[in-house]
Amino acid sequence: MEPKNRFWGWLFGTRLDEDLEDDEIDQPEEEQPEQEDWMPEEPPEPEPVINQLILPWDHPFILLYELWAERVKDAPLPYLRLESSGILSDSEMEQELQRLRKFITAEAISRWDMIPKEKKKKPDEDTEEPQDTAEPDEEPEPLKLDAFPMVYVTSNRLGAWLMIFPPVGEGKELDRGMLDEALMKSGVAFGVDAELLERLSGEQNRYFHLYRIALGQPVVHGEDGYIEDFFERDTKQKFVEDEHGRVDYFNLNLVQNVEKGGVICQAVPPKEGVPGRTVLNQEIPCKTGKTAALPKGRNTEASEDGTKLLAMKSGRVEFSGRGFMVKSVLEINGNVDFSSGNINFVGDVHIHGDVSSGFSIRTIGDVTIDGVVEAAEIEAGGDLIVAKGILGDSRAVLHAHHDIYAQYMENCSVHCRGDLKTDCIVNCDIYCDGEVQVRTGRGTMIGGRVRAARGINAKIVGSKSESVTTIYLGGQPCANYEREFLQKSIEELEAELEKLERQPESPSKTQRMGKVRLDLSVGRMKLGQFDKELEKIKGKLEEQGGCRLKCDIAYPGLVLNIENETLHLTKETSSVVARLVNGEIHVM
């Protein structure tokens, strides 16, 4: 079996097993390798090429090639592959190869039929017909078949391939004029590879080779616009794990906050399509994308350009199924516990149950709690109202930028920028920039430390058991507390900066020192602002006549501090009105 036949079997998918067996039989015995006990592994079969055209042995295309290869030394091997360049998918490629097969078959048959029978025989081919030695009366006219370029256009008209049959007999070799004529007849006029046309006449493997001669412009259809959400439409419990794999059951992130004027979602405009063009220079129209409508709901409005959905007020963002809405009040029908997680909201919050220990509520609006507050942390940007009181277990911390109303307060820390009103205060640490009023209900204030800027008005202060109750009047308790905390932070930053300066130079040191210096500068600036505010507040209090303690009964154990003066009450006193007069505390 000839080596060429082995190649044809690989290229076109056919192999004559009987020829292979004959080769093995005809091999001399001395050349046959000795059999080993082990069998070598068979080489892996080459992966099929999905864009390659497979033709049988007796196909006219193969016959034409063999006829040409017998007369041309080192004839280049044929190449029948469709280089898709993204214009054909795998499924389309399979169908396109079937069309190409039919096209090449028809052209090859037509070409093969033009060749006389005697020309189709190979020089070494035997014939059983008797040879006529007599000279003919006249010589037969020589065969003249010029090179023939054929153009194949894909079904989607986005690609064109060129395949050239070689000349036969005294036919002309390929020239540029033949190529131009073939393109003109096929109608291919767009995306033609001009460089390929220039050099194709001199290509070594120009015959029986499939060239992509033209490539169209695929159409790009427009894409529909869509809504880009900045808030989730379906809020579900989210359990966040830390670096140790522990789940934070307190922060479930169920509340989505938005401030007034905030962007809830935006409409991404549709993308314009780009018309395509076939290799026949025909335009392929594109589809235009549709504009997405903003899902508007209550308390929302579209921006001036109509591309964004804005919140008309601060509150909680919810999706109703048809559109986004903003609710200014967040209502929790049950307790703040593991079912709700911590609350972080930009509007008002109304808790219909209790606030369990370990949980927190933070909001820029008012907080209303119908039940009891346990050892929790609450920060309200407005008023804080606790209907059934606070049982802090010495761990509850409450902050309110306005007033606080509670039925009772026990064992908790309270920071109130406005007035504080309650029926009872027991062992609490209170900072109040307004007035503390304990006049309703029992009206008792026992133990702990109470700081009030404008004064205290209660029924009973202290107890018969002479429990120590410390009262500080004047100043700005909340600001003083923040000032002390800020002063402590500044001292820690100064100590860290001094420690860093003693360390050797390094990039990390430079970066850290820059951050520490910046924090230190900001802290000192805030400290200066605190001092200015405290001076203004002190002047206003003096204009109003200062602050005072007023109560119906005061028991021994009371420690009253006004500015730098201190008074220890040693006996039970009724109808107490205490204030600072000429640098001394007077009790009337």
Q: What is the band of 382 on the pLDDT scale with cuts at 50, 70, 90? A: confident
Mean pLDDT, rounded, for 50-70: 84
Q: For the purposes of burial, counting CB atoms within 10 Å of the CB of 264, is it exposed (0-12), middle (13-18) or buried (19 or more)?
A: buried
Q: pLDDT band at 13, cuts 50/70/90?
A: very low
Q: Which residue has the tokens 């592994």?
A: 41
Q: Which residues pair with 367 in a beta bridge?
A: 349, 384
What lies within 8 Å, CB to CB, of 250 at 6+ separation is: 338, 341, 342, 358, 359, 360
Query: In terms of Cα–Cα distance, which of 431, 453, 425, 256 is closest to 341?
Result: 256
Q: Which of 309-318, 410-419, 543-552 has the lowest mean pLDDT?
A: 543-552
Q: How many CB atoms lie within 10 A of CB 348?
A: 23
Per-residue burial over 377-407, b if 16 or more Cβ lie within 10 Å, else e, is: bbbbbbbbbbeebbbbeeebbbbbbebbbbb
Amino acid 41: pLDDT: 55
pLDDT at residue 225, as a whole number: 93
* pLDDT score for 491: 86
* Whole-angstrom distance, CA of residue 461 vs CA of residue 153: 102
Q: Is the pTM of this model over 0.75?
A: no
Residues 6+ apart with CB under 8 A from 102: none
| Region 18-23 average pLDDT | 42
pLDDT surpasses 50 at 314: yes
Q: Is the pLDDT of residue 11 over 60?
A: no
pLDDT for res 249: 52
- Which is higher by pLDDT, 18 or 408? 408
- Least confident range from 59-68, 76-85, 549-558: namely 76-85
Q: List residues bridging with 385 in a β-sheet.
A: 368, 405
Strand pairing of 409-416 and 390-400? parallel
Q: Please determine, for residue 266, whether its predicted confidence score (pLDDT) is greater than 80.
A: yes
* CA R_g for the chain: 48
88-104 residue pLDDT tens:
887 888 888 888 889 98
Residues near 206 by Cβ (< 8 Å), separated by ≥ 6?
164, 174, 200
- pLDDT confidence tier of residue 533, bands split at 50, 70 and 90: confident
pLDDT in tens, 159-168: 898 998 888 8
What mean pLDDT comes out for the span 267-284?
A: 92
Q: What is the mean pLDDT of residues 472-491?
A: 84
pLDDT above 90 covers a percentage of the chain that reads 33
The H or E element that residue 274 is part of is: none
The pLDDT of residue 8:
44
Which has more pLDDT, 119 or 284? 284
Q: Is the per-residue pLDDT at 30 higher than 60?
A: no
What letter represents residue 56's amino acid? P
